[in-house]
Amino acid sequence: MLKLNIKNETSRLKSVILGTAISNGSAPKLEDCYDPKSAEHVKAGTYPKVEDMVVEMQAVADVFKKYDVEVFRPKQIENCNQIFARDIAFVIDDKFIKANILPDRDKEIDAIQHVINQIEPNNIITLPEEAHVEGGDVMPWNDYVFVGTYSGDDYPDYITARTNIDAVIALQELFPHKTVKSFELRKSNTDARNNALHLDCCFQPVGTNKAIIHRNGFLVEKEYQFLVDLFGKENIFEITSEEMYNMNSNIFSISEDVIISEKNFTRLNSWLREQGFTVEEVPYAEIAKQEGLLRCSTLPLIRA
């Protein structure tokens, strides 16, 4: 059995699900895109090729191997985008929580059933039907659970609004001993530079007390300020809108000292090294065209 344990974003990683790009299918039709960035690349004819994405994901798998991390992969579904394992489920403490996501992605959860079968059944949680949530919006941070959301009346109009207030309430009920803190995110169906698809697209903790953040991803100034105050201004790396667009906050921690990052994130990677982190650089620019990066394609199960 897998003894799930996730308290935060940065403790030493022992076990993880990494998505797969092997049978990703051809580029979607414009009207079938789930986010503005994918749509942009479909229009431009620059949508990523399967063979390039397979190479990028293998680079991540190689880093995990180097650090003795146990890696599970989804079973392959023909012509299905299975890269973003974080969307379909997430772990907090010892609970595996299935996300209620876009309905046509249900089969993605079936593809990790071989992993779910190794979890104590009482620890597998399905949220109420009205609670919409994706793992990219949910960040356990010790006594906190940070949740990106959008509560505007026009929520149904935004295919980019993935986590609702019902999910925030459901998580608070599941984890009464933690503070579940929600953050209103800026949404756009058409402008990728003004769309924080998930919380991890504009914020992520690193190490024990540092964070990467993009101010404009937050709709409410005082919610952004809460994070600045919590981590301390001197411990925060502020990314530009262009860096957010390129997914600079969507890196992934193997431990409090080791971070996997995209090799083109030169400003961020320099800062991380200055702070004493080991940065394992990988190519991930093709996968980034789908508005997701390293955190999105990993689902951590056990951290020490």
Give residue-wise pLDDT tens across range 124-163: 999 998 998 989 999 999 999 999 998 877 766 666 667 8
Residue 5 in any domain: the answer is no
Q: How confident is the model at residue 6 (pLDDT cuts 50, 70, 90)?
A: very high
pLDDT at 63 over 80: yes
pLDDT at position 18 is 98
pLDDT at position 80 is 85
Residue 201 in any domain: the answer is yes
**DSSP for residue 5:** B
Q: What is the sign of the dihedral through the CA atoms of 3, 8, 13 and 16?
A: positive
Radius of gyration (C-alpha) of the chain in whole angstroms = 18
Residue 1 in any domain: the answer is no
- The burial of 242, by beta-carbon neighbours within 10 Å (0-12 exposed, 13-18 middle, 19 or more buried), is given as exposed
Question: Token digits for 35?
Answer: 């986010």
Residue 3 in any domain: the answer is no
Query: What is the C-alpha separation between 250 and 228, in angstroms, rounded?
Result: 18
Where are the strands (E) in 22-156, listed by range?
70-72, 89-92, 95-98, 124-126, 138-141, 144-149
Domain of residue 183: give its range.
13-303
**Tens digits of residue pLDDT in 182-202:** 999 986 766 667 667 789 999
Q: How confident is the model at residue 47 (pLDDT cuts 50, 70, 90)?
A: confident
pLDDT at position 160 is 61
Instruction: Kindly report the CATH number assigned to the domain that includes residue 210.
Output: 3.75.10.10
pLDDT at position 159 is 66
Q: Which residue has the higher pLDDT, 43 or 142?
A: 142
Residue 6 in any domain: the answer is no
Amino acid present at 69 = V
Q: How confident is the model at residue 69 (pLDDT cuts 50, 70, 90)?
A: very high
Please name every residue paired with 276 in a beta bridge, in sequence order, or none if there are none.
none
Please name every residue paired with 91 in a beta bridge, in sequence order, or none if there are none.
96
For residue 18, which of 148, 116, 112 has the smallest C-alpha distance?
A: 112
pLDDT at position 229 is 98
Query: What is the C-alpha separation between 243 and 249, in angstroms, rounded?
Result: 8
pLDDT at position 179 is 98
Contact (Cβ atoms closer than 8 angstroms) between residue 295 and residue 204: yes
Q: Are strands 95-98 and 124-126 parallel, antiparallel or unpaired?
A: parallel
Residue 140 in any domain: the answer is yes
Backbone φ and ψ of 264, nearest 5°: -85, -5
Residue 38 in any domain: the answer is yes
pLDDT at position 33 is 64
**Tens digits of residue pLDDT in 198-224:** 899 999 999 999 999 999 999 999 999
Give the count of beta carbons closer than 10 Å to the beta carbon of residue 211: 21
Kindly state the average pLDDT of the residues 282-286. Answer: 95
Amino acid present at 88 = I
Which residues touch 62 (CB under 8 Å, ≥6 apart)? none
**Tens digits of residue pLDDT in 231-240:** 999 999 999 9
For residue 206, which of 8, 61, 67, 66 has the smallest C-alpha distance?
A: 8
Residue 4 in any domain: the answer is no
Residue where the block lists tokens 């667009």? 245
Number of domains in the chain: 1
Query: What is the C-alpha separation between 174 and 92, in angstroms, rounded?
Result: 10
pLDDT at position 217 is 93
Q: How confident is the model at residue 43 (pLDDT cuts 50, 70, 90)?
A: confident
- % of the chain with per-residue pLDDT over 70: 90
Kindly state the average pLDDT of the residues 161-189. Answer: 91
Mean of per-residue pLDDT scores for the chain = 91
